[in-house]
Chain A
Amino acid sequence: MKKRLVVLLLSVFLIASVFAGGSKEASAEEGGQTVLTVLTTAVTQEPEGSLAEEYIAEFERLNPDIKIEITGVPMNSALQRITTLAASGSLPDLFVNTENIVGQLADMGICEDLTPYLSEDEINNIVDSVRTGCTIDGQLVMYPWYSGPNALIYRTDWLEELGIEPPQTLDEVVAAAQKLTRDTNGDGMTDTYGFGLIGTNDDSGQTRFVMILRSFGARELYFEDGEWKTEIGTPESVAAFEYFRDLSTKYKVVPPGALENSFNENVNLMAMEQIGMLIAGSNSVGKIFNANPELEGRIGSVEMPSAVTTYTPSSILGWSLNPESEHKDAAIRFVKFMSNKENSLRWVEVTGRMPCMKDAITESDYLSTDLFRGFVAGFENMVQAPNAPFYAEVKTELGKCYQSLIMDPSLDAAAEVAKCAEAVQRIIDNNA
């Protein structure tokens, strides 16, 4: 009998141990404190991580009734993590959201409309273009924290040395890049390249290509007359693909391995003083200065140069509130604190990530420097990217096309783009 009891107890213990641990993200009350669970990308990177932790500690000091429980997630796996947590019913109270994934997350119904929790003044304080990017079907599904609009960053000292004006058009980018591609030590090998091409088929590469595509006047995806449409396959789109290809294969102004050099590799190359220009978000300057402080004061920015027009996609990172959260008020207090004027002003100086609130934008001296000229101009003209749930798939097809052309420059660009157009149309049809 004793044996049976022991066996039974052991079985129960084993089963219990399998399921032990519970849900880390689940909201809880702990010693009278509200435990607010937060999923963020900020703590997984520097220089953002240290400052974010400092802000959180300050928030907890000012709000002793709230304890913040942070879970870090790298940006490139945020969507997967949030989806998995949502599917298993373990979504934290607050989670990171960006303009790239907001369409998919809102489609899942896991982003609470924040309008009822904010006053009219607070809503009006959000920069208009940012508010548009955070709104889907009239609902404010994301509370903006910061923005990192893309612009063309360049080495001011190198351009001055060669007597080049900061490029305003894509043709001028090529001309400047050719001059900046140099053998500086005379050993017969190129030491510095004019342009850092992000040719990976990931969000970083795809976003840069879309900026060029739109600058040529072609749209990869747009909503009109109640349906999604594409302009891939038009002569303008072919010209954009050719331009992207030629930077690497014809003008040879980009470092080797363009198809494997993603955002981080290019930022490192800029920090290592191997490239002169790069299409990058304002946050990249924080990373560059962090890696090479000697470059402070030697980098400037201009708004994305144009072919026929200019295009800066909305680039916002914010918070979304779990509709099932039991601590919505605490969550709103937290997000407001993180984006308040004082914190936003310090945040931009340390990380290069720009505030999304009007009061912080107008009072920031830092944003009026040469370094931020291009970012600020882009920020004012930010356009919301398509929020179709299948947008990521469309961008992957664009990536495959530009990679094919760069890999084999002998391919007929028009034919490759036509194939890409077919693939994009198929995606649209499958999701109609």
Chain B
Amino acid sequence: MKQPALRHVGDLHQNKLGYLFTAPAFLVLVLMVVYPLIYGIVISFFDTNLVNRFDFVGLKYYKRLIVDETFYASLGRTAIFTIFTVAGRTVLAVLFANLLVMDSMPCKTVFRSILVLPWFFPDVVVGILWRWLYNANYGLFNFILRTIGLADAPIEWLSNSKTAMWAVIMVSIWKGFPFMMVMLLAALQTISKDLYEAAELDGCGVFQRFLHVTLPGIMPVLSTTLMLEIMWCFKHFTLIWNLTKGGPVDATQVVSIDIYNTAFQYTRYGESSTRAVFVFVIIIILTVMQKKMKRKEA
């Protein structure tokens, strides 16, 4: 009868050591993640400039946000940006990953290195680089289009509400597809060649082999990567800010830029936090969905 008690004492001893080991990480997590999160939620109930004004306003900003059409519009633009960016990245990633995994593909290492290059560049650099490429006066794209006679006048890619969002999405796809490609490449390499041979013997064509062998094989990685990409794109800021700052008018004003402007341009930190809390809830919902999907797959 005494054995369990002894084991319990032993467990406690072992646990103590475990707690001690995890304490620094836990403390860092609380200070760097939990505290700012709670602080952000708390100030959403205050009219504050974070320095000398902390006026409690209760749910005022939440009530205002619920009827704020501009916020919903920015959420809509965020959805468009996210959907098309993730879709574009997925198509490119699947395509290039499949090419790179082929045995007959020459110079694989060289292509792999070149294809992951955009991923290595910081967002700010990419933003500035593409701004120059898109520039109406001295941009490379306009120069080429005008030289080969495809455009009479310069195209204002970033100054036109009809083209600005697509121009931004294009850059975002270019910048982000390598991550997905690397993940899918790793997944593709785990699929046994026997499965492809068996499928071929059963008379499957290229498309059917992709549909019935490749896709199920990469699905666990693909679903996780997709969910991560959706969450990242939903709160993406740097690239869009460096390309258009949310303009022209508000054609590319996604929710992260809306939050930034409210906080740092207009110094309405409380109201900005309300918006951030709203986005936080959306991200939480997406995370829960991803967890459920993972569990289902398992």
Q: Which residues of A contact B (CB under 8 A)?
A: 4, 7-8, 10-11, 14-15, 18, 79-80, 83, 86-87, 104, 107-110, 199-202, 255-261, 265, 269, 274, 389-390, 392-393, 396, 400, 403-404, 407
Distance of A333 from chain B, by nearest CB (Å): 27
Task: Check A7/B249 contact, CB under 8 A, given A15-B27, A256-B154, A260-B158.
Answer: no
Q: Check: B161 CB closer than 8 A to any chain A CB.
A: yes
Cα of A15 to Cα of B30 in the assembled complex, Å: 12
Q: How many residues of B contact A (CB 8 A)?
A: 35
| Residue numbers in B under 8 Å from A108 (CB-CB) | 49, 51-53
Contact of B264 with A79 in the complex, beta carbons under 8 Å: yes
CB–CB B159/A407 < 8 A: yes
Across the interface, do B24 and A15 meet the contact criterion of CB distance under 8 Å? yes
Please tell me if the beta carbons of A11 and B137 are within 8 angstroms of each other in the complex. Answer: no
How far is B155's CA from A256's CA once the two chains are assembled, in angstroms? 8
B129 located at the interface, meaning its Cβ lies under 8 Å from any Cβ of chain A in the complex:
no
Q: A83-B267, A393-B266 are in contact. Are A201 and B247 (CB under 8 A)?
A: yes
Known contacts A109-B51, A259-B159; A80/B250 CB under 8 A: no
Q: Across the interface, which residues of A come within 8 angstroms of B217, CB to CB? A: none
For the complex, give the distance between the alpha carbons of A15 and B29 in Å: 11
The residue of chain A having its C-beta at the shortest distance from the C-beta of B244 within the complex is A260
Tell me, in angstroms, the Cα distance from A15 to B267 when the chains sit together: 32
| Interface residues of A, dominant DSSP | helix
Q: Which residues of B contact A (CB under 8 A)?
A: 17, 20-21, 23-24, 27-28, 31, 49-53, 131, 135-137, 153-154, 156, 158-161, 244-245, 247-250, 261, 264-267
Residues in B whose Cβ lies below 8 Å from that of A259 = 156, 158-159, 247-248
With A200-B247, A396-B265, A407-B160 as given contacts, are A260 and B50 in contact (CB-CB < 8 Å)?
no
The 4 closest A-B pairs by CB, nearest first: A257-B136, A259-B159, A87-B50, A256-B136
Contact yes or no, B266 A390, CB < 8 A: yes
- Additional pairs, 7, CB under 8 Å, beyond known A104-B49, A259-B247, A390-B266: A86-B51, A107-B49, A201-B245, A257-B158, A260-B136, A260-B248, A400-B250
Within 8 Å by CB of B245, from A18, A202, A256, A389, lies A202
When the two chains form their complex, are residues B249 and A407 in contact, meaning their CB atoms are under 8 A apart?
Answer: yes
A259 to B248, CA, bound (A): 7
Give the complex CA separation of A407 and B137 in angstroms.
Answer: 17
Q: Contact: A86 with B156, CB < 8 Å?
A: no
Residues of B within 8 A of A400 (CB): 249-250
Residues of chain A lying within 8 A (CB to CB) of residue B160 = 407
By beta carbon, the residue of chain B nearest A11 is B24
Minimum CB–CB distance from A57 to chain B (whole Å) comes to 31
B248 surroundings in chain A (CB, below 8 A): 201, 259-260, 403, 407
How far in angstroms is the closest Cβ of chain A from B237?
13
Is the beta-carbon distance between B23 and A11 smaller than 8 angstroms? yes
Most buried by B among A110, A257, A260, A389: A260
Q: How far is the CA of A265 from the CA of B138 in the complex (A)?
A: 11
The CA of A400 and the CA of B249, in the complex, are separated in Å by: 4
6 contacts between A and B (CB under 8 A): A4-B20, A79-B265, A80-B264, A87-B50, A202-B245, A261-B137
Query: Shortest Cβ distance from B270 into chain A, in angstroms?
Result: 12
Considering the chains assembled together, what is the distance between the CA atoms of A8 and B23 in angstroms? 10
Cβ 8 A contact of A403, one of B24, B31, B52, B247 = B247
Q: Which residues from chain A contact B153 at a C-beta distance below 8 Å?
A: 256
Chain B residues lying within 8 Å of A4, measured Cβ to Cβ, are 20
**Distance of B36 from chain A, by nearest CB (Å):** 12
Contact residues in A for B265 (Cβ distance below 8 Å)? 79, 392-393, 396
Chain B residue at minimum C-beta to C-beta distance from A110: B51
Measured between alpha carbons, how far is A256 from B261 in the docked complex, in Å?
Answer: 27
Bound CA span A122–B154, Å: 54
B131, B161, B267 — most chain A CB neighbours (10 Å)? B267
**A256 and B267 contacting across the interface, CB-CB below 8 Å:** no
Task: Report how far A79 CA is from B263 CA in the complex, Å.
Answer: 11
Which residues of A have CB within 8 Å of B154? 256-257
Tell me, in angstroms, the Cα distance from A4 to B158 when the chains sit together. 60
Pair B267/A79 contact, Cβ less than 8 Å = yes
Q: Which residue of A lies closest to B21 (CB)?
A: A7
A256 touching B156 in the complex, CB below 8 Å, given contacts A83-B264, A108-B49, A400-B250: yes
User: How long is the Cα–Cα vector from A151 to B63 in the complex, in angstroms?
Assistant: 45
- Selected from B20, B137, B161, B267, the residue in CB contact (under 8 A) with A104 is B267
Q: Which single residue of chain B is at the shortest CB-CB distance from A87?
A: B50
For residue A181, give the distance in angstroms from its CB to the closest CB of chain B.
Answer: 14
Contact B266 A257 (CB under 8 A): no
Chain B residues within 8 Å of A87, by CB: 50-51
Knowing A83-B267, A403-B249, say if A109 contacts B136 (CB, 8 Å).
no
CB distance from B233 to the nearest CB of A (A): 23
Q: Taking A108-B51, A396-B261 as contacts, is the C-beta distance between A257 and B135 under 8 angstroms? A: yes
Q: How far is the CA of A65 from the CA of B158 in the complex (A)?
A: 52
Cα separation A257 to B139 with both chains bound (whole Å): 11
A407-B161 contact given A109-B51, A202-B245, A392-B265, CB 8 Å threshold: yes
A109 contacts B52, CB within 8 Å? Answer: yes
